[in-house]
Amino acid sequence: MANSSPAANSSGNTSPVYDWFQERLEIGSIADDISAKYVPPHVNIFYCLGGITLVCFLIQFATGFAMTFYYKPTVAEAYSSVQYLMTDVSFGWLIRSVHRWSASMMVLMLILHVFRVYLTGGFK
């Protein structure tokens, strides 16, 4: 059987990494099944905006939940709790940054989603 996998090198052999995944997960048949699906020509990245907004919301929920263990919402302790999160908590800076950027991304994706639905008449 000829090897037509994307991981095949010039000599026709597959890479050890591809072979490892193929042996355990049968990724060749999964890739063939996914690539055989018909995608209408009008479907593009703009149809994913609602899903991207949902993913951003889920990230907000997860990172917000993680930050609730360290944040103290009082006037006297708010700044010091954020400073503690950013400097002393392991990967606290990353959790807070992901929370901040996913909030901005969620608002942007929501606005783009609303415009896409309006312009394409998806609400009808």
pLDDT confidence of 104, banded at 50, 70, 90? very high
* Mean pLDDT of all residues in 95-122: 95
Q: Are 92 and 66 in contact (CB under 8 A)?
A: no
Mean pLDDT of 60-71: 96
Domain of 4, in residue numbers: 1-37
Please indicate, yes or no, whether residues 71 and 102 belong to a single structural domain of this protein. Answer: yes
What is the H or E stretch that residue 17 is in?
helix 16-25
111 and 69 in one domain?
yes
Co-location of 8 and 28 in the same domain: yes
15 and 74 share one domain: no
Mark whether 98 and 58 lie in a shared domain.
yes
Q: Does residue 50 sit in the same domain as residue 73? A: yes
pLDDT in tens, 19-62: 888 889 888 888 888 888 888 887 888 889 999 999 999 999 99
Distances (CA, A) of 111 to 4, 103, 105, 122, 123: 42, 13, 10, 15, 15
State the total domains in the chain.
Answer: 2
Task: Looking at the structure, tell me whether residues 65 and 22 fall in a common domain.
Answer: no
Nearest CA to 114 out of 103, 105, 101, 123 is that of 123
For residues 98 and 59, what is the distance between their CA atoms, to the nearest angstrom?
A: 8
Q: Please tell me whether residues 61 and 112 are part of one structural domain.
A: yes
Amino acid identity, residue 57?
F
Averaged pLDDT of the chain? 88
Nearest to 85 by CA among 103, 97, 101, 74: 97
Q: Are residues 27 and 78 in the same domain?
A: no
Q: What's the pLDDT band for 87 if we cut at 50, 70, 90?
A: very high
